[in-house]
Structure 1
Amino acid sequence: MHGLDLLKQHWNNDGNFLKINKDEIKHMLYRRSSTIIKWIFIISVIELSVGVLLGFFLPIDQEPTSSLESLLELIFGIAFKAIILFFIYNFFRNYRKITNTADTKTLLKTILKARRYVDYYIKFHIYTFVIYMTLRGLKHIITVFVDKSIGEGILVTFIVVIVTTPIIFIVLYLMKLYYQILYRRLINKLDKNYEELIRVEKKTAEVF
């Protein structure tokens, strides 16, 4: 980081230094962008691995009440993991592309694409959690209405809403805080690299 700042200082003060060190500054920005996306890839793999391990070792609260419910849970689990693997694949592909590219235009496009995938990844986790909790609540309410009286069903519905709503908001806040600490910080650094690369290209165009 200090080396890059030193180069940028000379860059602004010395036109000859600009001609000599343009490629070196770009190389540093390339390498830093590659490192950021590599960490995004690593963190996403760790998240998936932890999720799979928890699925194996944590006890299941209740068995599915029907073969249809069991099938739906299986489909949901497979679809969730498949989508996560899709994101991981794209994080890795963007990392490889940045590592191997020598073209600034391609790098800028890859940075924008990586940023977009991270945004989708975060939203996917948040929306999936909300949908999952909503479906679990509805399932419990429907079960009570089928097995119990209407009065008991209304009471259970009221309790479920009162109890689960604060829990959902608290968990959503913790999820956003987690993603803010990890992914948003990395994305902010990636955005700075993007802006630096644009400035490098503009300053080079002015000199040459």
Structure 2
Amino acid sequence: MYRERASVVPGAVLWTRTAGAEAARVLPDGCVDLIWGEGTGLFAAGPDTRAHLTASPPGTRYAGLRFAPGTGPAVLAVAAHELRDRRVPLDALWPGAEARRLTERVASAADPGVALEAAVLGRPPRPPVRYAAQTAAGLAAGARVADVAAALGVSERQLHRRCLDAFGYGPKTLARILRLQRALRLARGGLPFAELAGRAGYADQAHLARDVRALTGVPLRRLLAP
């Protein structure tokens, strides 16, 4: 069982999940998550370059804050590339005593998600990586990397360095992942695959199929199945 809502933490989504019998497939989305899990405590997850399968005993509860692309590193005080394709215990990122206090507070709360929000709001974030929001918005809209760099007045090399800190990978990988998410939104809205390929920014339906399988490990129809 999975639920989500807009968080009181600006730019974040609060989600909760109760594990079922099957492994959950977490798709790359350009985001970083701060997650509490029964038996695992608090840890940071992502950003991922490929789908991540997670399996837990049925009934295990999770609560997490998913930060919009480029915003998580400022909250967690860590460069995004240090978390790429990893799950890192919070006490490896924050002072151990602080991480333990927060873990105990969230674990004992009636609503772990609300406790997680309160903890993040009570901790002053670092300034965000410069141009992160504009970069994410431009690439999400389908702009070319060269055009995004030109609009920001930086070289493509400078943009790449900033993207590593803000998103965990370079702008071309980020654009590919955001394009996948755009395709999934269109597909879930019922748009035929041939039409959504063009609208999402793929050369054709075959390109869409190859990219989806490469990033998620399964065909698009499998992702859309109940």
Fold-level similarity (TM above 0.5)? no
TM-score (norm 2): 0.20
TM-score (norm 1): 0.21
User: Relative to total residues, which structure has the larger strand share, 1 or 2?
Assistant: 2
Task: Work out which structure has the larger RCO, using CA pairs closer than 8 Å and 6 or more positions apart in sequence.
Answer: 1
Q: Between Structure 1 and Structure 2, whose CA radius of gyration is higher?
A: 1
